[in-house]
Structure 1
Amino acid sequence: MLQPVRTKWRKAHKGRIHGNASRANFINYGAFALKAMSPERVTGKQIEAARVALTRHMKRQGRVWTRVFPNIPVSKKPIEVRMGKGKGSPEYYACRVKPGRILFEVDGVSEQIAKEALYKASAKLPIKTKTIKRFV
């Protein structure tokens, strides 16, 4: 599961995801990509599940680039704990994804295989996505 080796702060504010992506919003590496269309927090488990689905469908041919990394600690209180008594401990790590962000890039496979693989990966993510193609 993806998580940072060390962080500057142990706990983070929840925050809100406003606006469109200004970074990682163009294809840099591959020929096909999965682009986020809605704002959401994507967990490390979801990113890993999408990556596994992607590589399995491609039968380990071609190349996959992951353009997101979960670096935000998400805290949670234990069940049946009364209100107050401070913030819960960090449970997992997530990535704040803005609309327009490239999540995965694929190269070295045919267009049909790439689109099917990216579709299967998008089923593992909690956001609306679309498959895009690099224009040369």
Structure 2
Amino acid sequence: MNPVKCRSIVLQGSIQATRILQVCGFKHYPPPIKYDHVEFPERPRLKFVDRQPQLPPNIKAPKMQKKLRLMRGPEHIHNFLLHKQYGIMALGGGRLKWGHFEMLRLTIGRKMDKDRMFAIWRVDNPWFPVTKKGQGQRMGGGKGAIDHYVTPVKAGKIILELGGKCEFLEVKDFLTDCANKLPFKAVAVSQEMLDKQKADEKWREENNQNPYTMKYLIQNNMGGCQRWISPLDFKYFCKYV
């Protein structure tokens, strides 16, 4: 081989190796997230919740039945994030007492940075009366007196929202801690998690190759299942307890 040509090849190889070493020293960082679209409410912290509803003085507090239907099935209205950021979502039905509201308000108010974060309620104040009889009373004698008030919650309902100039990793720990203290299963969610969940459900429905779904089994009375399943299962096909 021509020595001049060989020398040029060696020089080109050394130049390329030098360029590789120079490039390896640099790191590529993505641009910071912009929060120009975030709208802050007038009050950044969670509002205080009354222990019982305020009724006019000439109206006696009414007593109600159990109405378990208020806790069964999915939530159809408050099942999305208004500010498209973060929140706590219920995974099952239950009742929120006034103590749970105070726990959420005090914990989140202490953990979050009020200068760049905010939190809002997505559930009503305690309005549903729960009656209870005194200790040692016999059965009968009519319905007991109102003991406290609760807020019924369905599966998929957003309990509260938290947003602002922050990322999900900053708020995930204390949101999860608050969700674990609720009387029903709940989880800290972000808008990306909700979008992914909806996309996964849609993909499973479109690509399901097993024709024997729970809906098919119940509607066709496979194995005589209609004799023992709950009336709620006819409506939601065993998806909600």
Fold agreement, TM-score > 0.5 = yes
Structure 2: distance between partners of 1:34 and 1:77: 34
Check conservation: 2:180, 2:186, Cα contact below 8 A.
no
Structure 2: distance between partners of 1:101 and 1:60: 25
Residue 59 of structure 1: how far off its partner (Å): 4.5
Q: Does 1:105 pair with 2:161?
A: yes
Q: Does 1:84 pair with 2:136?
A: no
Structure 2: distance between partners of 1:105 and 1:127: 18
Q: Does 1:56 pair with 2:110?
A: yes
- The residue matched to 1:21 in structure 2 has which SS? coil
- Structure with the larger helix share: 2
Check conservation: 2:129, 2:147, Cα contact below 8 A.
yes
Check conservation: 2:179, 2:188, Cα contact below 8 A.
no
Identity %: 29
2:78 aligned residue: 24
Per-residue deviation, residues 1-48 of structure 1 (Å, max 9, x unmatched): 533212885211111122100111100136101000011111122122
State the TM-score, normalizing by the size of structure 2.
0.52
Structure 2: distance between partners of 1:76 and 1:19: 26
1:4 aligned residue: 53
Q: Does 1:42 pair with 2:96?
A: yes
Q: Which ranges in structure 2 are unaligned for 5 or more consecutive residues?
A: 1-48, 196-241
2:123 aligned residue: 68
Check conservation: 2:72, 2:155, Cα contact below 8 A.
no
Structure 2: distance between partners of 1:30 and 1:97: 21
State the TM-score, normalizing by the size of structure 1.
0.88
Q: Which amino acid aligns with 1:131?
A: A
Say which structure, 1 or 2, has more relative contact order (CA 8 Å, 6+ apart): 1
Map residues 122-133 of structure 1 onto 2, 5 A cutoff. Answer: 122-133=179-190
Summarize the Cα distance change of 1:102–1:123 in structure 2 as closer, same or farther, 3 Å threshold.
Answer: same
Check conservation: 1:47, 1:125, Cα contact below 8 A.
no
Q: Which amino acid aligns with 2:76?
A: S
Check conservation: 1:37, 1:127, Cα contact below 8 A.
yes
Which deviates more from structure 2 when the two are superposed, residues 36-45 or residues 119-128?
Answer: 119-128
Q: Which amino acid aligns with 2:97?
A: T
Structure 1: distance between partners of 2:120 and 2:88: 11
Residue 117 of structure 1: how far off its partner (Å): 2.1
- Structure with the larger strand share: 1
Structure 2: distance between partners of 1:74 and 1:113: 37
2:220 aligned residue: none
Residue 74 of structure 1: how far off its partner (Å): 0.8
2:229 aligned residue: none
The match for 1:14 among 66, 88, 92 is 66
Higher gyration radius (CA): 2
Q: Does 1:116 pair with 2:173?
A: yes
Structure 2: distance between partners of 1:77 and 1:107: 43
